Structure 1
Amino acid sequence: MPPDRQLLLLATAAFLAAVVPAARALLSGHWRTTRQWIPMLIGFALQTGAVYLRGEAVRQCPMKSLSDVLVFIAWSVVLLYFLVGPTYHVSLLGIFTAPVVTLLHGLAFVVPNAFPDYSLKAKIDPYVELHAALALIAYAAFALACITGVMYLLQERLLKRHRIHGLFYQLPPIQDLSKAIKKLVLLGLILLSASLAISFKLTTPISNPKLIFAWVVWGLYAVIGLIMWRHVLSPRQTAWLAAVGFVIPFISLWLVTSHG
C-alpha cells in the first residue's frame, strides 16, 4: 500500500479515537472535553501528510478522482472544524464531525477505481487548481453547516422531550448553533462565488456539466442564505435546510469527477 494510503488509514483511526471514548463518556454522563481535540489534531496532521504525498505521487493537486475529492473535502472539513469550533464554543462538534470524516475516508477507499494514476500535465494552470480547491472547501463549509444543523435539531429534540443529561449540557446554546449555521452557509457561498468567478478565466465552456452543477449548488445555497437572512422560515426549518441541502453538493461530486 502506498505511503499516502497508509497515512490516510492512520488518520481514520485517529478520528475514530476521537469518537469512541467520547461517545462512551456521554452515555455514562461523565463527559470531559479538554482532550477531545488531541486525536482530531493528530488525524488532521496525518490527513495533511496523506494529501501532500498523494500530490507528490500524481505531480499535481490531488483533486481529479472521486477518491481524492472525498479526501480533500474531509481534510477541509477538519480544517474548518478547528477554525469554527472555538469561535462558537461548539465543544461537541468533533464528535459529530469525526464520523462524517471517517465515512468520507471509507468511501474514498471503496469507490470504483479508487486513487487512480493521473495523466501527467505538461503545464499546470494555477487558476484551474485554485478554482477546484475553493469549490471543494466551499463544499466542506456546507458539510459543516449540515453537521451543525443536525446538532441544532438534536438539541431542539432534547428540549422538547425534556431529556436533560450529559449530552445536552455539552451542546452550545441553541442560538449559537443557529448563528453558526448562517455563518457557515455564508462562508461556503463566498468561497463558491470566488471559485465560479475564477471559472470565467478558464477555457472550460460555461456549458460544461461540471460548471452547470456548481451553479446549481450556488443557486441552492443562495436561496437558503436569502431565506436565513430574511427570516422567512423558523430556525428549525432553516436547520433542516442546511442538513438536507448538503445532499445536492454531495451527489454532485460524482458529476465533478466524471467531467473533470
Structure 2
Amino acid sequence: YQIFTTSLLSFKFLLNFLSWELVLIYFLFILSPIKIYTTGFFLLPLVLIFLILSYFFPQEIFSPFSPYFKSLWFPLHAFTGLFSHGFLLFGVIISLMYVLQEREIKKKHLGVFFRKLPPLEYLDRVAEKCLYLGFIFLSFAIISGAIWSEIAFGNYWRWSPKEVITLILWLIYAVLIHQRVLIGWRGKKAAYMFLFGFSVWLISFFVINLFAKGFHTYGS
C-alpha cells in the first residue's frame, strides 16, 4: 500500500497514468455508438508528449512513509483528480477538432483529412459527455481532498495555489455546464469555453505543480 500510495506523489507517475488514461478513454468512445476513430490523430501527439516528458522526471522515493498519506481519502482524492484530468483533456481535444473543422466548413474547402472527421454534432456530443464526467470527477476530487485535508492537517481548505486554481477551473466548467443546460450553448461557443478552461488547466498542471512552493505541489 505504501509503494502504491507514494507513487501518486511522483510527477512521473502522473504523466504516465494520464497518457494511458487518455488512450483508454479513446477506446471507450470507440466502443460506444459514437465512432470517433480519427480522434486518434489528435490524441497521439499529446500522449507521446506526456510519455516523453515523464522520461525526464525521476521515480521519486519518499521515506519514511508519512502518516498523512495512510488515509484512504488520499488515493480516492488523487485518482478522482486524475480521472477528471483525463476526461477534461479528452474534451479539449474534441473541442479543438470542432473548432478546426467548423473553420474549414466555413471556408467551404474541406481537405481530405477533415472530410474523415466525425460530424460536428458528434464532436459536440462527445465534448458534452467529457465535460459532465470530468466535472463530476473534479467535484469528487475537491470534496475528498477537503475531507483528507481535515483528517491530516485539521482544516478543510488551506488556500494553497493548487487549491485556488483548481477551484477556478471548477467554476469555469460549472459556468459552461450552466450555459449548455440553461442557455443552450452548443458548438463553437462551448468549444471555445472548453479551450479556455484548458489554459487554466495548463497553469495548474505544469506551472503550479512544478514551480510553486508549499503544500500540494511537486515543486516542494
Match of 2:25 in 1: 80
Q: Distance in 1 between matches of 2:78 and 2:209?
A: 10
Match of 1:150 in 2: 96
What is the identity, as a one-letter code, of the residue corresponding to 1:142?
Answer: L
Q: Distance in 2 between matches of 1:105 and 1:250?
A: 16
Match of 2:166 in 1: 214
What is the TM-score with the length of structure 2 in the denominator?
A: 0.81
In structure 2, the CA distance between the partners of 1:178 and 1:231, relative to structure 1 (3 Å rule), is: farther
Contact 1:59–1:120 (8 Å) recurs in 2: no
Contact 1:69–1:253 (8 Å) recurs in 2: no
What is the identity, as a one-letter code, of the residue corresponding to 1:152?
Answer: Y
Deviations 1:222-241 (A, max 9, x none): 11221222345452121112
Q: CA deviation at 1:148?
A: 0.1
Alignment of 1:24-173 (within 5 A): 58-60=3-5, 62-87=7-32, 88-110=34-56, 114-121=58-65, 124-173=70-119
Q: Secondary structure of 1:60's partner?
A: helix
What is the TM-score with the length of structure 1 in the denominator?
A: 0.70
Structure 1 residue runs of 5 or longer lacking an equivalent are 1-54
Q: Secondary structure of 2:14's partner?
A: helix
Q: Distance in 1 between matches of 2:120 and 2:17?
A: 30
Deviations 1:119-143 (A, max 9, x none): 3426632210110110111011110
Q: Distance in 1 between matches of 2:11 and 2:66?
A: 22
What is the identity, as a one-letter code, of the residue corresponding to 1:207?
Answer: R
Q: Mean Cα displacement is larger for which, 114-123 or 153-162?
A: 114-123
Aligned length: 203
In structure 2, the CA distance between the partners of 1:84 and 1:159, relative to structure 1 (3 Å rule), is: same
Q: Give RMSD over aligned pairs.
A: 2.4
2:146 is equivalent to residue 176 of structure 1: no
Match of 1:42 in 2: none
Q: Distance in 2 between matches of 1:59 and 1:157?
A: 45
- Runs of 4 or more, structure 1, over 4 Å off, are none
2:216 is equivalent to residue 250 of structure 1: no
Deviations 1:120-177 (A, max 9, x none): 4266322101101101110111100100001111211221122234323321111111
Contact 2:120–2:187 (8 Å) recurs in 1: no
